[in-house]
């Protein structure tokens, strides 16, 4: 009974945390592509105010930033839970098996690695979009200045 609980807990950490991170990665990539397509189709002349343009440009960008900043914590949560399960299973058996320790720790650290694999591209996506937003807003300022003068 106890071993089945530990196996279930280990699978929940392994697949649950990794599943959440994969979902976060897919969402950030999808939002990045959506924003790039939206930025490509924006006609600056259609906007009467800079604030209106800023609102349209900023859609979903904060979600990408949120994913990038929180993915390492999700990975760290998986690592902590994996290490707790490994130590619990070792304490339950009462014998120290180096193979079991190393396997448990390697599986736990996989969650941290995945968190970084998700976070790094998401932060890159965010920075690319932020720069594109700045360029579009600068173009709006240039056009507004030309129209006044």
More confident residue, 11 or 119: 119
> For residue range 12-40, what is the model confidence (pLDDT) as tens digits?
777 889 999 999 999 999 999 999 999 99
How many Cβ atoms are within 10 Å of 36's Cβ, its own excluded? Answer: 14
Range of the domain at 86: 2-148
Stated pTM of the model: 0.85
Nearest by Cα to 85 from 17, 3, 19: 3
Considering its fold, how many domains does the chain have in total?
Answer: 1
């Amino acid at each position: 009974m106890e071993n089945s609980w530990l196996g279930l807990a280990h699978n929940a950490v392994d697949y649950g945390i990794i599943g959440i991170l994969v979902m976060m990665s897919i969402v950030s990539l999808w939002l990045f592509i959506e924003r790039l397509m939206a930025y490509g189709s924006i006609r600056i002349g259609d906007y009467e105010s800079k604030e209106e343009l800023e609102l349209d440009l900023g859609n979903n960008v904060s979600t990408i930033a949120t994913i990038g900043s929180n993915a390492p914590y999700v990975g760290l949560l998986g690592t902590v839970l994996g290490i707790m399960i490994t130590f619990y299973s070792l304490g339950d058996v009462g014998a120290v098996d180096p193979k079991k320790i190393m396997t448990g720790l390697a599986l736990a650290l996989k969650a941290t690695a995945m968190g970084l694999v998700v976070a790094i591209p998401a932060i890159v996506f965010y920075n690319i979009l932020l720069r594109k937003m700045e360029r579009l807003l600068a173009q709006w300022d240039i056009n507004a200045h030309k129209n006044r003068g």
